[in-house]
Amino acid sequence: MNHCLDCGACCASFRVSFYWAETDAHPGGCVPAALTLPISPYRVAMRGTESAPVHCIALQGQVGQGVSCSIYAQRPSTCREFDVDDPRCNEIRGRFGLPPLPEVPLAA
């Protein structure tokens, strides 16, 4: 079961920043540059995550109901590295009134 498809809380909680060369403006990059904005000389962020209220421009659907990432295959490393094994997962699910996932460790 993929709990993330009924959640999306992390896509509406954090600034999703990453090295600018991950965008398709750079040879070998894949994240659509048009969906990002620069935050420093070498880093960009997904639009919608640079300031509160956070909601990634690529997030489709309603948090806590049904969601998808419109650039899933091209999402940045920041997103690839965050999953239900991260202790912050249940913490941010709670902020949206979502129940904890039993198999996820609690944040310290």
Binding residues (CB under 6 A) for ligand SF4: these are 3-4, 7-11, 16, 46, 56, 58-59, 69, 71, 75, 79, 82-84, 89, 92-93
- Polymer length of the chain: 108
Cα–Cα distance for residue pair 28/25, rounded to 1 Å: 9
Q: CB of 88: closest distance to ligand SF4 in angstroms?
A: 8
Radius of gyration of the CA atoms of the chain, in A? 14
Q: CB of 69: closest distance to ligand SF4 in angstroms?
A: 3
Nearer to ligand SF4, 3 or 43 (CB): 3
Nearer to ligand SF4, 33 or 84 (CB): 84
Going by C-alpha positions, the residue among 79, 88, 14 that lies closest to residue 100 is: 88
Nearer to ligand SF4, 26 or 95 (CB): 95
Helix (H) or strand (E) holding 15: none
